[in-house]
Amino acid sequence: MEGFWAAFFPVLRIWFTCVVVLIMLPAMFGISLGITETYMKLLIKSLEWATHRIQRASRAEEILKHSASNGLIQRDNSSLEQEIEELRRNRPKSAERGDFTLSDVLYFTKTGIESIVEDDVTQRFTSEELVSWNLLTRTNNNFQYISLRLTVLWGVGLVVRYGILLPLRITLTAIGLSWLVIGTTMVGFLPNFRVKGWLSELVHVMCYRICARGLSATIHYHNKKNRPKRGGICVANHTSPIDVVILANDSCYAMVGQVHGGLMGVLQRAMERSCPHIWFERAEMRDRHLVTQRLRDHVNDKTKLPILIFPEGTCINNTSVMMFKKGSFEIGGTIYPVAIKYDPQFGDAFWNSSKYSMVSYLLRMMTSWAIVCNVWYLPPMTQQEGEDAVQFANRVKSTIAQQGGLVDLAWDGGLKRAKVKDSLKEQQQKKYSHMVVGDDSSD
């Protein structure tokens, strides 16, 4: 037993020194040694080769056809009115006002069956399907056994990911988080000089950079000139808890959220010591006025950091943007929209909270190839005259969807867990009744 430890200790020391020197220090100061770049190049080459092999071997090429949409079936984008008009087109018109025809029911039948085969909402709460396999078993849905070489590559990948990358990443994340707690607590002891703010930001950014390395995250920031400024509100689409790490790598934000216990609670309290964040007790979250007031106070204080909010309220699978809750847009202040798009080829970042717990999610993240994403800072937007909070929210949502190449949906992300309201059905009925009885229907 002793011999084992005697041999193990130097290995551990070398390992640690390597990690610190090669990864942690450069990360802290934002310098790149090029190790990650080389890794990514190698990875891309391997994946391209794998894709090539799969395509060569596959006779059923339709399965690998690139479809720009994630759609399964062809959907008409025309409205209820257009479709029913078309259905009635060949009938002789007996009355000038609308009319009912037996064929009207076909429209509702078809849309009903279409939604049974595929609906826009349910598919957004599961991971995006890949066009070609990326050598991770977890994304393997319909890919067949191709060749021995591919299997060997997959096996090598497995060993590399679980044997080398995983321990490395766990070490880094542990270092990152402990440094965050220690650093912010130390800064918290300083008196309130301007230096404190600068130091606090430095500590935060360094720790997030280490954590990002802990996930092998490669982030491309675009339009850095639009970076959120103090007294503003940063608004982004939500895919996973990692979004926070991704955004905080480049700039410092004041976080908003519920007070948690356990490890999260330790982190929250530590961060609170060095610079003001907004943590709510569970009971306080229900009082919307209280929430809005606290956020407003923070925004109006121009010395405080910009707030980071995810208006969707829940994690969506990064193929679409769902309804933005209007609460964030009622606070006033300038909104800085940010679009985040992950590249699914290297690792699926979406957190399916109904399927995976936080811990198993993080483990999956750390055993993926890498997290590659693009962050676009969009020009600031403010609420215009005559625009209410909902319209403003939708305007911001469209801008983010367009930049990120995501589908802009009006559905509420809360539908992940809740039922659809009857008012949606009534809306359909109303639209249809206008076609049948004309405009003198009772309203």
Partner 1 sequence: MGSTSSTLLKIPNVEELVQETGFSPAHIIRLYDRFKVLDKEGRGHLCPQDFGAIKELAMNPIRDRIISAFFSPGKETVDFNTFVRILAHFRPVDKDRPKDPNSPEPINSRSNKLKFAFQLYDQDKDGKISRDELLKVLRDMLGMQVTEEQLESIADRTIQEADLDRDDAISFEEFRKSLEKVNIDHKMSIRFLR
62 in contact with partner 1 (CB under 8 A): yes
Q: Is 228 helix (H, G, I), strand (E, B) or coil?
A: coil
Nearer to partner 1, 67 or 192 (CB): 67
Give the separation between CA 78 and CA 283, rounded to whole angstroms: 45
Residue 68 DSSP SS3: coil
**Residue 437 interacts with partner 1 (CB under 8 A): yes or no:** yes
Dist CA 216 CA 171 (whole Å) = 12
Query: Which of 41, 52, 91, 286 forms a contact with partner 1 (CB under 8 A)?
Result: 91
Report which DSSP code applies to 330: G
Nearer to partner 1, 41 or 110 (CB): 110
**Least distance to partner 1 from the beta carbon of 348, Å?**
16
CB of 329 to partner 1, least distance (A): 24
Residue 429 in contact with partner 1, rule: CB under 8 A: yes
Q: Which stretch binds partner 1 (CB under 8 A): 10-18, 28-36, 113-121, 399-407?
A: 113-121
AA letter at 322: M
Question: What is the 8-class DSSP label of residue 326?
Answer: G
List CB contacts of 198: < 8 A, sequence separation 6 or more.
Answer: none
Q: Mask: binding to partner 1, 154-193, rule CB under 8 A, as x and -?
A: x---------------------------------------
Interacting residues with partner 1 between 329 and 388 (CB under 8 A): none
Distance separating the N- and C-terminal Cα atoms of the chain: 84
Is residue 292 a contact point for partner 1 (CB under 8 A)? Answer: no
d(Cα 229, Cα 386) in Å, to the nearest integer?
Answer: 26
Distance CA 128, CA 110 (A): 25
Whole-number Å distance between alpha carbons of 345 and 44: 9
Is there binding between residue 427 and partner 1 (CB under 8 A)? yes
Phi, psi of 166 (to 5 degrees): -60, -55
DSSP-derived pairing of the beta strands 371-377 and 335-342: antiparallel
Contact 53, 150 (CB under 8 A): yes
- Total residues at the site for partner 1 (CB under 8 A)? 66
Q: Does 142 bind partner 1 (CB under 8 A)?
A: yes
143 binds partner 1 (CB under 8 A): yes
195 or 420: whose CB is closer to partner 1? 420
Which of 25-33, 120-128, 204-212, 311-319 is the region at the interface with partner 1 (rule: CB under 8 A)? 120-128
For partner 1, the closer CB: 142 or 192: 142
| CA 354 – CA 442 distance, rounded (Å) | 43
- As given in the structure block, the two tokens for residue 167 are 């321990």
* Residue 426 in the binding site for partner 1 (CB under 8 A): yes
Q: Which is closer to partner 1, CB of 86 or CB of 284? A: 86
With binding defined as CB under 8 A, does residue 105 bind partner 1? yes
Please select the residue that binds partner 1; options are 85, 118, 297, 388, rule is CB under 8 A: 118
144 binds partner 1, rule: CB under 8 A: yes
**Among the listed residues 141, 192, 303, 384, the single contact to partner 1 using CB under 8 A:** 141
The structure tokens 């066009």 sit at 131
Tell me 165's DSSP state: I
Least gap, CB of 402 to partner 1 (angstroms)? 23
Of 73, 148, 359, 410, the residue at the interface with partner 1 (CB under 8 A) is: 73
SS3 of residue 355 by DSSP: coil
Closest CA to 233 of 392, 414, 344: 392
Single out the residue of 186, 247, 191, 243 nearest to residue 365, CA to CA.
243
**Structure-token pair, residue 134:** 């990326």
Among 71, 167, 265, 379, binds partner 1 (CB under 8 A): 71
Residue 107 contacts partner 1 per CB under 8 A: yes
The answer to whether residue 441 forms part of the interface with partner 1 (CB under 8 A) is yes
Distance of CA 297 to the CA centre of its chain: 28
Q: Which of residues 401-420 bind partner 1 (CB under 8 A)?
A: 411, 415, 419-420
**Cα–Cα distance, 172 to 19 (Å, whole number):** 8
Chain centroid to CA 4:
45
| Joined tokens for residue 86 | 């078309």
In the bound state with partner 1, the residue whose beta carbon lies nearer, of 136 and 400, is 136
74 binds partner 1 (CB under 8 A): yes
Q: Which residues bind partner 1 (CB under 8 A)?
A: 60, 62-63, 65, 67, 69, 71-74, 86-87, 90-91, 94, 99-122, 126, 137, 140-145, 151, 154, 411, 415, 419-420, 424-430, 432-433, 436-437, 441-442
